[in-house]
Structures are given as C-alpha cells and as structure tokens.
Chain A
Amino acid sequence: MYMAFSLSAQVTLRGTVTDAGNKGIAGATVQIEGTSISALTDATGAFSIQLTDGYETLVISAEGFSPQKIYLTGHTSLNISMKSSSKGNVVNTGIGSQSKDELTSSVSSISAEDVSPAPLINLEQANQGVTAGLFVQNSSGTLGQPTQVRIRGGSSLSASNQPLYVVDGVPLTSQNQSNINPSNIASIEILKDASATAIYGTRAANGVIIITTKDGGSGKMQVNVDYQFGVSETPKKLDIQNGDENLLQTFEYILRGYEDFVIEGRGYEEIDLIADGQTYDNIDRATLEALYNSGVDEVTFVSTFFTSAPPITFNIPGFYNQLRASGSTNWQNEVFRQGTSHRANVDFQGGSEQLGYFASAGYSTQEGILIGNKFDRFNGSLSLDSKITDKLSANLNLNYIYTKDNRLPENQDLGFPLQAIVLPASDTYDPNNNYQIDVRSLEYNPLTEVNYSSNVASNNSVLGGLGFTYQVNDKLSFDVNGGIDLAKYETDLFQGPQTQEGAGTGNGRTRVSDENVTNKIFNGWATYTTDVSGSDKLSVILGGSYQDSKATFTFSDSFFPRDAAIPGSAFAFVSAYTRVSYSLGDQFDFQVSGRMDGSSKFSEANRYGFFPAVSAGWKLNNAPFFNVSTVDLLKLRASYGLVGNTPTDDFLYRQNYYRSTRYGVEATLEPANLANENLKWETTSQFNVGLDFGIMNSRITGSFDYYIKTTSDLLFPVPVSLTSGFSTIFDNIGEMENKGFEINLSSTNVQTSDFSWTTDLNLSSNKNTITELNNQQAIVGVNAFLEGQSAGVFYMKKFVGVDPDTGNALYALDEEGELTTDNWSEAPRMVVGDPNPDLFGGLTNSVAYKNFEFSFMFQFVMGVDLYFQTGEFLSNSGILNLGQSQDQVNRWYAPGDVTNIPKLDPANNFPLSSSRWLSSGDYVRLKNITLTYNFPESVLGSLGGLRNMSIYVSATNLLTFTDYIGYDPDVSYFDPLDGIIGQNISRGVDNFNTPQPRIIMTGIKIGL
C-alpha cells in the first residue's frame, strides 16, 4: 500500500533559480531535504528534479546566497528567487547569529553592497545616512581624523560615547575599525537596543557595531580586481576681502587707533578730523574711502570739547608700514588644492568543501584638499574556513593594516594651512625667504610650516581571530575563539629651524611618539537548540569571555635629552553570558539574556555588574485572526534591558602613583589620583518598542522604533578639597536621558526584467537631556554640560546686535534680550543653541535599467546649531587687522549706522566669543551619486570569459543645501588636549575645520 501510494504520486518539478535581479543562477543545488536526491541548475538557472509526492521540502543553496527552504504543496513548477547571503535573513548578533525573522531586538544591518564606493578613508563615514539611529559626524575633512559615531545619542558625559566595535568577534581597543578595507566587509550590524547589546554587557551602552569580514568560499577560485581614481576639492570657498579692501581696513585701523589715542589717551572727549584741508566730524564709510583714495598722508585731530587743546597731527606712512603692502593674495587658493586619489584592490575567493579561502590586498592613496595632507593605506587579509571533520570546523581571520598619514598641525596650532585665510590679502610671501610674509612679517605663514616640517603618523596593525566550532549534534554545538587586536602607532614630527616651533634649534625639532596596543580576547560558548514541542523552538547560548587590553606609550622630543616615561593603560574584563530564545509557534518569540561582567576598573566590592535584558516579538501576520493578504509581515517587538559603561581611566578606584617627571636626574614617584572606592558602572537602561512590516510581497518593507534610554550613575568629575592635591575626583552622580524614534522604509517601486527602481528612507530623531548633574556644570569653550539641557549645549554670551550710536556689540543681560550691555564681561552666559540634531537621516534611490545602474543618496541633518569659531578671527570687524570675510565691510562706521556688525576696534585683541558666530547647521547633502555600467555577457565572453565587469562614475558631496556660513556643516572640532570630557562637551564647533571634500571618481571592477 505504501509503495502503491508513492508510485502513484511521483512527479517532476521544473523551475528556475534566479538572483534578485531575475538573472539565472548557474550551479545552484536543489536538494530534497533528508535525502541525497539533488539537482544542479544549468547556465540559465533552470533545473528539474524528481519528487515522490510533491509535498517534500526543498533546500536550495548557491554560493553567495542564503540557503532557502521551500515547503512544496503539490507544485510542478517553481521559480525561486535567492537573496544574497550578506543581506537579509541572517543577522550576526555577535555571539551566535539569529534569523531576522525571529529577532526581537532593534538591529540594523548594512550589507556589503550598501557600503559606499567612495574613497572615503574610514568606514564610519561610509555609513553616514545609511541607516536609522546611527549619527555620524565628521570632525573635519582633514584626512586621518577621527569620526564621531553616536547610536541613539551619547550615554556618557565623561567616558567614551563611541559604540563598541567588534570585528570578527574581537572587541576593539585600537580604533582600527576606521582602517578596515571596506571591500572586505561582508556585513555590518548595528545593535541598538538593550536586548541586542546586553550580551556585550559593559561598554555596550553606546550600542555595538559588529563588522564581519568576508569568509572563504568554495569551488573554483574567483578573482575580483578593482581600481578607482578620484579627484577631490573643497566644496566651497568663502567670500573674503581682496587686497584693496584689506588696505582700506588697514587705513581705518590706523585712523581708529589715532582716534582712540586722542580721545582716550589725551582726553579730548569730542574731536574733529582735519585732512586735506577738510574738517570731518565723523569718520564714516564715505569719508574713509575718500581719504584713503586721495592718498592722504597726514591727519590732524582737534578737540571740539576743549577748544584750547592743541591739535594733534599724525603722519600716516611714517607711522604704519602696513599700508605699503600692495599684493593681492588669495590665500584660499594658496592652501586648497585638488587632491587625487587612487584605490586598487584584488581579492581571491575559493576552495573546497574542506578548506575555503578568501585573501585580499588593497592599497589606497589619497591627497587631502589642504596642502600637506595625504593618507596612504595598505590592507591585506586572509580568511580560511576549514571543515576538519564532520563535526569540527575552524575559521581563521587575519587583517593587516598599514597606514601612513601625512598630517597637518592641530587646527588651533599655528601653521595649520586653513589659518592662512585670515592673513591679509594685501600681503604676499617670499618662497625664497622661508615663505615669510612680506609686510606683516610677524604673522606666521602656514606655508612655512607645510614646507619645512613633516608630520607623519603610521599605523601597523593586525586584527585577527581563530575560532573552532564543534557541532556535537544538530542540537548542541560549542564555539571557542581567540582574537587579537594589535596596533602600533608612531608619530614622527619634524619641524625645521625655519618653522615657529623649530626656531632657534639649529637642526630643527623632532618629536616621536609611539603607542602600542595589545588587546586579546578569549571567548567560548555553547549553543543548544531544540524543538520543544511541535513548532516551538528553544535556543540557549551560554558562554564566557576574557579580554585583556594593554597600551604603552613613549614620547621623545629632541628638546629634551631623555625620553619621558608615560603611564600606560591596562584593563581586563571577565564575563559570563547567556541568551535564551524561545519561539512559540510561528507567532511569538521571546528572549532573555544576561551578562555578568567583571572589570579591572572597579574596586573588589563593585567589580561585578549584571546586565539583563528581556524582549518579545509577536508576528501578527501569523496570528489566526490576521487576514490582510497584502501584508506579509507585521511584527511587534518590545525590549527592556540594562547595559553598562566603564570610566575611560583604568584605576580610578584606587590610588595610583606614576613614575614620570624627573627631578634633575633622579627618578620620581607621584600620586596620580585620589582613590574613590565607591566608583561603579554607569548603567544605561533602555526600553524599546518596534514594529517591522512588509507588504505586497515585501515590495514595501520597513520598521519603526521608539526608545527611551536612561543612563544613571553618570561618572563625572566632582570638586574635592584641593588639600588632597587634586581638584576633582570621579564619582557617579548624574543621570541622562535619550528619547527618540527611528524609521526605516524600503520600497521596490518598479520591478521588471529590464527596469527596477528602489527607494530606501531612514529617519532618526533623538532628544538628549541631562536630567541630573548634582548641581555641577562643566563648561569648555562655548559648550557646556548643564542640568536640564542637552549634553554640550551652546552656553555663551548672547549677541543681540550693535548699538547704532557707539558701534559697540551688545550682549543680552536677560534671556529675552531686553536688557543689554556693551560690556562683554558683564553679560551672563546663556543657552543659545544645541549642537545635537533633532532629526537626521538619508534617502537612497537606486535605478537599474538593462546594464545600467544609477543610484543617489541624500543625507540630511536638521535642528542643529554650529559655532563658526573661525569667525572669531575671520569675521570679527577687522580684529587684529586680519584678513576678513566680505560681509565685515558692512560694519558700523559712524553714529547712525544700523548694522549687525560692530565697529572696528583696534584696542580689542580678544575674539570675545558670543552667539554672533552661532549658525544653523542644518543641511541636506547629495552624499553620493553613482552611475554604473555592467558589461553584458556577450562582451565578457569576447574578453576571454570574464565573470563580470563594470565601470562607474561617482561623486561624493556633490551638492549641499545649507544656510551655514562656514565651509561645511559636517564638522566638529575637538581639541585632543581637552580629554574625553572636553571632547564630549565641546561639539559642533568649526574652528578652521577642513571642509568635507567634494570627490569625483571613476573606477572599474572586474571579476575573473
């Protein structure tokens, strides 16, 4: 009977296996699950296979695609569309992966295809605007500068707010995430809510970014080669006064100086000016121009108040040589340049069932848009996957990184090229005389620095891991792995005797600093998965890890005969973690996770922290009552959990001594801090609700998340009696909240065999508030940490205009600005803006037509303020008689002038920071636009059977729509000397920052 049944039902199933672009996949395996019956697809992706009853389960697999299971229900023909394996179904959540379907937490994925082709040097920049919840802000367009990344806002005031980066299972200490070859990245996962991050325990408070590099393949060796050439330039030049305008300013500078001297110094009270036989009672703009143009060389002042006071005459050229200048130098043109870049990459992938390999080598060299700035990088990688026995497999990943960064001085240090824009345009320089400025010879010309110094930072790093998986049976497996993150940074600074710092040294000044990072991780876990009953599934992960990270530093300066001993850094974490997932039918998923962390950064009593999380998901679309056929997926998610953050410094809980400064020739030992045994973790609790949906056969998919993230026990420096020898200690005192929502939307607008069009949109909003700070505040420059405000708000004197009678700047004395003062010191600081954006996101459109692909991505940031600190010198009414932006011409000259730009005051040498230079930093930017042509099969065939070949042209930062007054709104200067707290406070400041370059590039990719 059994045989009869089976015979009667035998059928042949025919079909095709295609990729997302409807192109047939050759060599895909179609197998009946649980049997050895299988078939391979032909060149067009077609297959046929004998079935027994038409109700089998098919498993379709193909290299580079996620395997699919199809439960047959009497089909005789079937078209199967495969999804690329790096995108979509399986999400790497760090320790063990989870199917996206069952995911109950908030995780964003970026697949290899989404990583921008631009020669942007770091990975963070490539992810700007790509997914919700991830705010990326460049510190500047100077190559090799760090990029700030915030997942759902900052969660700490004194510790780092950067996410934890985990590369192939290794949590980084080295900051080398920026230097991973983007071509090698298989996927990037961004873990945002507590449920996702809890398994990382401490350090996960700022979210976790998991980077997975490409693995070994199988089959015939495939070779990919690509090359790219790019040209970058400044996206904008500022409107700066020319030489003539500059000289007019110099003329006024001189006259105002005389005026001051006569009125203030001699007490003439009210004066008239006599020049060329004419009497003027005011130096208004017309007078100034007339006198300047007439070439007047003698002016006389008489007191109209004390008529008996003798007239005072000044002979202008004799007094002031700056008017001799007659050049016309466009300093922007002297320091900006067109930078070229080259990037080449080759990788090999292949192997057998037993051993798969992936190897790559990449080299890129990029010139900055400012003279003297260049960044070279070499990446090599090797990945091996070995199936040692049926049950035991091993995986090895090695990434080698070498970078060489021709750096520029710090923005604030003399010699930074962009500072040249405040040199007077009327002046020139002499390349034969150390580029010294001709007339204003005391001003330092950055060209001198660039031409007579070299500042080379190199980075030699290895990132790698070796892991073993032992699959005991289909329910239980063990994983162990070990990883290393080794980095050696060296900075060699040489400043020749011609430079400011090297002056008087004879042979110049040399400074060498080294940093060696040794970070090791050991990790082991067991995974147990079982079907509990019917369709319920249970999965348990239990594991432990140990991380040990050390850094040592050396520094030498040719000014000093001996090297200074700098205290190193060291920390260790020992952790145990578990995650239990339970799927109830196909409707409900639950997950409970927890991690216990021990950290060397706390005293014995506070050493261990426990960070639990729970989450649940409900697939409404699978509920019996759900009956909307167009909706394929409707999943409700909720999670709550805790994660921790440790202080930046290693041993604050105990008293440390350091051997450092020497006295004469003797070694010394000095206390480094005051112990605070009570120090403990900053704890961040996060509540997240989310909704995932897919409609019309997943033509439209998306997710929505809302979260509230509260960090308590914030570590913050608290004043302490100075008699302890210290002014502050770290203590857990404050509380901060981040609230926001995130939307991701993807739509396949058109999908035909020749034409497709997809749109992806992401939007994020975050509101950060310091809810408690124990009545402390911290101010760095124009930013502050204040209770009840966003972290880093702009807190400075509020500029409200110019007094039309005196030309003095007016500052608000009260919030409303009703009471004003022209005494800068008297005005109180006020909250005048916020460098944290209200809303940001990105919009990507991709269009494919036949062999052409076209995509463009807009990225935007809204509701953000920036402080144009450059303006304190460049746009400050002719301060110090520096070169000025064009708008300063419209300053106040004489009583009655109504303007927003105060008078030129030669007595004022201080920039007097105020909201005068605060500007909206909102922008919408065409971040990327790319046109690609994929050569058709016919051409590939004629070229000797290439697998694929494409060429593209692309542009980065082509257009920016903004009202921002500076070069570029995507900048945030931070002073390395400020330390972590200073850098957390001081943000949204543009202090001669290099703009993000506009880059045009073209390239070719070939698959052999």
Chain B
Amino acid sequence: MKLTTIYKSIILSIPVLFILGCNDLLDVEAENSLSGNVFVTDQNFEDALNGAYVNLGGIYDGVDGGELYGGGFQLMGTLLSRQKNSLFFWRSSEAPNYQDFMDKDVLDINLTVESNWRRAYETINIVNGILTNISNIDNADLRERIEGEALAIRGMIYFELVRFWAPQYEASTLNSPAVPILLEPVNDVNDLPDLTQATVIDVYTRAITDLEGAEALLGGVTLDRTRINVDVCRAFLARIAMQQNDFNTALGYLNQVVPQYTLSATAMGAFNNTSISTEDVFVVQQNSESTSGNIATRTGLTAHLGSLPDIGFAALNINYEVLGNNVENSPLFYSADDRYTLQDDLEVTSTSSDIEPTAAYYNDVINTLATSTAKFKRSEANIPVIRLAELLLSRAEAALEDGGFASPVTGTPLADLNAIRTRAGLPALLDTLTADEFYDSLIVERNRELIFEGIYFHDLKRLEANGRRVFGISFLSPLDPSLILPIPQAECDASPGLCD
C-alpha cells in the first residue's frame, strides 16, 4: 500500500515536473536569427545601419522588390518623364508592373508602387529603431556617426516619398496631404499607430530637419565616401532646396560640396565603377553578391535596361535615333556628344564585357531595331545616386536664378555648364548668351547628362512650378495629378482613414 502511494506520487509529479522544470527548454534560438531588443551592442547598431543601407539601395532580398535607389526611383522617374511612342517603349511582357509609368496611368494596385512604398517605410522603420535606442551607444563618436547616418537616410527617404507621392512643392500645395510621417519603430503589430497623411510642408520640413541634424552630427566625422557623410547630407539638402525652387539655399550647400569633387575624365567614366569614383558623392554599393538585381533576380536597373542575354531582358526598347529627334522631352543628342556614342557591332554571342567603356548605347542583339543604354550595364557595379555632374548643373541653375537671371551669362553658371559640355566632347558655350538661351541649353544638358537616372522627372515638376515650363510630359503638365504616385491600395485597406 505504501509503495503504491509512492508510485502514485511519482507518477503524478511527472507532468508537473515537466511543465515547471522545462520552461527554459522552450527558449530556443535559430542560427543567423536574433530577437528581442537587438540594439544593445555597438556591433548590432552597425549591422542594423547596414541593414538600412541594404534597403535604401534596394539590395535584392527575395521579398517583393522595391529597389528604391537601386533602381525603383530611377526607373519610375525615367518612365514617368518619357513620352511613350513606338520608338521608345516598355515591353510589358517582360516587366508588366512598370507599364503604368510609361502609360502615365499609375494604379493604386501597381506592385512597383506598393513595393517601393513598403520598402521605403521598412528602411524608415529600421532607422527609427536605431534612433530610438541611440542612447545605448556609449562611445560618443560612434553614436554621433550612427545617428547622423540614420537621420540622413530617413531624411533622404521622406524627401523621395514626398516628391513621388505628393504634389510638387509650391505655395498652393504646402498644406496638401502627402505621406505619413513615422518617427518611432514599429516592432509589434499592436504598436502600429493610426496613420494620417502629413502635409507637403511637414514632410519637407521633416526631411530637411533630419538632414540638417545629420549634417551637424557628421560634420566632425572623417569622410568615408562609401557611406553617407556630411557632403551627402549637403548634396541632398541642395537637392531639396532645388525642388523647393529655393535657389539661394541650394547655392549655399552646392558651394560647400562641389569643390570637394572632380569630374571623371569621360562622361561614361562616371558609371559601372566597382569603386568610388572622384565624381561620386553617394552611390549604392553593389557587388556580385549584394546587388539590387540581375538577370537571375529580374530586378534592378541592369536587368530591366540591359539587353545582352547575360545581363538583362531589355524591358526598355529605345530607338537610338529618337534620342536625337526633336520630339517632346528629347535630349536632342547629336553625333559629337560622347553620351550619344553607339556601339552597334554586338552579336547574339556577345556578353556585357564586349561593350566598350566609351559606349553610351549598344545594339539590342535580339530586337535589332532597338538599342540599350550602357549606363547600368553591370549589376555588380555601383549605382550613382548623386554625383558631381548633377551638382554642377544644379549650381549653374541656382547661381543663374539667384543672380537674378542676368544676361549675358558668365561666371559660375557658365563655367559649371561648360565643364559638363566639354567633358562630353561638346564645344564650350560662349559668354555671350542671354539668360533665356543659356537656360534652354542648361535644361537640355540636364536631360542629356542625367538621362535614365530618374532625376529629370522631378526637374520637370520644379521647373514648371518655377514658371519656366520647358516641356510637358506626354502632352500633360508635369504638375498633372496623374504624375503623382497613388498611396498603394494595400496600404489604404490596412490603414483605415489614411486615404480618405
């Protein structure tokens, strides 16, 4: 009897012991995975910041795309700014999600819009996590650098969000609804705030505040040109000021940055570099392992724009001639221009390494009527995000505007524009041009120099807002609401009230 009691107590204690004693056994961890508050070690801050760069650069992660500076911003901007016609068209069969941009009819269910939106906020969420926990870094130098880089990333993204997803900055739109501003990290589904669209001015202010904060924090940091440094902050502050048509502010920042850099020897030398060039202010770093996309992933600039079978599927078909024709928004290239150099001897068996370094365009070996740009011919090379050529052209414009649009144009504006022209093999402009003549030349030069970089689309908007309309877009005003990206349907559905 007694024995039975002992047995019984042993038996009954088994489950109790298991449950009580084994709770720790349930705390298992998987390899290459971390959880909880990761912002506890300096290394984790560094790694998380790198994670933000990965997203900022749209490095392929197998999810749903959203290449941001690794291609999304460039492709959306480029396609929105170009007139669709039979000589410049998008092969919808290869990349259907970009067709809407060519059609100037971007639906709120467009997956490219959705993925870039999502990834932009994913990046913001990462830097918000860093910024919220930044005080956990004890070393002041390290803390300031990481905080500076994180702020700069957030500022850059809010700027891109507001200029893609909201009306152009001008007096009449300052209080128009733009995009939500999130400054706290969202880690748990229960942390999601009620979202509202902040106004255009609020988002601009946020971007400027973040970048100015970054500029102050990074001012004392030794320049590391593979990352965001004080110059990048200033270059972006200049970009923002240009977008606001605030030429005086822009000029101030440009005068600080421009002298730090020198143009590459050749026009095409600014592209497809595997190391930082003298012209690069900020690039998306790519290598064969970490790239925004290639022919295998079918994402990124090289895959969409490249036509040789080893690099891309030639989604964009460009008739070479049309780039020199006088059609709407044409760069009006002519033969002397190095940026219009065509290599037409590639064959079906050619690979990207057969493209000459000097070639700006090469023949599409499959669709023999078309050509492709050589700006992004290597998926493992850096993608320039902001480079000296843009800053020089911006400074020329800012100085001209800030100087009262005075004729004849001489001095800084002329020197800056001529620096770009002469590098491309074009004759320098004389110092006898009127402001109007010079301005026309300057804007065409921006179109030529920055083509396929997604910059000119935003230029058209700010030029229009500045009352200096140069060209329309597919017969629309650049300020037409159809050129503003919609907030994705998926976001509106998941965030009640946001899109009302």
Contacts and interface: CB of A to CB of B under 8 A. Distances in A.
A671 B50 CA distance: 12
B60 to A, nearest CB: 8
Given A564-B289, A572-B25, A727 B118 contact: yes
Interface residues of A, number: 82
A662 B28 contact: no
Interface string A562-573: 101111111111
A565 B32 CA distance: 7
Interface in A773-832: none
Given A570-B30, A600-B27, A661-B290, A723 B195 contact: yes
Nearest to A601: B26
A576 B14 contact: yes
Interface string B22-62: 11011111111111101000001011101101110101110
B187 interface: yes
B479 interface: no
Contact of B189 (A524, A566, A662, A729): A729
A672 interface: yes
A666 B34 CA distance: 17
Interface in B171-187: 180, 182, 186-187
A651 B33 contact: yes
Interface in A547-597: 548, 550, 552, 559-562, 564-578, 596
A668 B31 contact: no
Contacts of B126: 670-671, 725
Nearest to A602: B26
Contacts of A570: 28-31
Interface stretch (A96-104, A674-682, A986-994): A674-682
Contact of B290 (A472, A550, A662): A662
A664 B226 contact: yes
Given A564-B289, A720-B189, A544 B17 contact: yes
Contact of A719 (B16, B188, B309, B493): B493
A659 B34 contact: yes
Nearest to B19: A576
Contacts of A472: 7
A595 to B, nearest CB: 9
B302 to A, nearest CB: 14
By CB atoms of chain A within 10 A, which of B18, B33, B55, B226 has the most?
Answer: B33
A677 B33 contact: no
A295 to B, nearest CB: 29
B50 A663 contact: yes
B78 interface: no
A526 interface: yes
A655 B188 contact: yes
A278 interface: no
B132 interface: no
B1 interface: no
B114 interface: yes
A440 interface: no
By CB atoms of chain A within 10 A, which of B15, B26, B289 has the most?
Answer: B26
B329 to A, nearest CB: 26
Contacts of B296: 501, 559
By CB atoms of chain B within 10 A, which of A659, A672, A723 has the most?
Answer: A723
A927 to B, nearest CB: 40
B12 interface: yes
A650 B54 contact: no
B28 A542 contact: no
Contacts of A598: 19, 22-23, 26
Contacts of A559: 288, 296
A503 interface: yes
B30 A568 contact: yes
Contacts of A503: 309-310
A3 interface: no
B50 A668 contact: yes
B192 A721 contact: yes
Contact of A670 (B25, B54, B114): B54
A669 B38 contact: yes
B457 interface: no
A8 interface: no
Interface residues of B, number: 76
B167 to A, nearest CB: 20
Interface in B304-327: 309-310
A659 B29 CA distance: 13
Contacts of B36: 654-655
Contacts of B155: none
Contacts of B50: 662-663, 666-669
A599 B182 CA distance: 34
A723 B180 contact: yes
B121 interface: yes
Contacts of B117: 722
Contacts of B18: 544-546, 574-576
B125 interface: yes
Interface in B115-134: 117-119, 121-126, 129
Contacts of B51: 657, 663, 668-671
A664 B26 CA distance: 36
A575 B337 CA distance: 75
Contacts of A961: none
B309 A723 contact: no
Interface in B187-204: 187-190, 192, 195
Interface string A598-614: 11100000011000000
A570 B35 CA distance: 13
B384 interface: no
Interface string A839-882: 00000000000000000000000000000000000000000000
A663 B57 contact: yes
Contacts of B35: 651, 654-657
Contact of A663 (B118, B121, B285): B285
Contacts of B493: 719
Nearest to B496: A721
B93 interface: yes
Contacts of B61: 660-661, 670
Contacts of B27: 600
A671 B16 CA distance: 37
A675 B14 contact: no
A723 B32 contact: no
A674 B488 CA distance: 20
B360 to A, nearest CB: 23
A567 B290 contact: no
Given A472-B7, A724-B121, A727-B490, A660 B186 contact: no
By CB atoms of chain B within 10 A, which of A566, A665, A676, A725 has the most?
Answer: A725
A476 interface: yes
Given A546-B22, A721-B192, A566 B15 contact: no
Contact of B47 (A578, A659, A731): A659
Interface in B122-167: 122-126, 129
By CB atoms of chain B within 10 A, which of A651, A670, A731 has the most?
Answer: A670
Contacts of A731: 189
A664 B495 contact: no
A607 B19 CA distance: 11
A9 B36 CA distance: 81
Contacts of A608: 19
14 contacts: A504-B310, A543-B14, A567-B33, A570-B29, A572-B26, A576-B14, A576-B15, A656-B35, A662-B289, A666-B46, A670-B48, A671-B129, A721-B495, A725-B118
Please provide the 8 A-B residue pairs with the shortest distance between their CB atoms, ordered closest to farther: A576-B15, A725-B122, A568-B31, A544-B18, A669-B47, A670-B51, A722-B118, A574-B22
Given A676-B188, A723-B182, 11 more contacts: A501-B296, A504-B310, A550-B28, A561-B289, A598-B22, A655-B35, A659-B34, A674-B186, A720-B494, A723-B495, A910-B93
Interface of A: 472, 476, 501, 503-504, 524-526, 528, 540, 542-546, 548, 550, 552, 559-562, 564-578, 596, 598-600, 607-608, 650-651, 654-672, 674-678, 719-727, 729, 731, 909-910
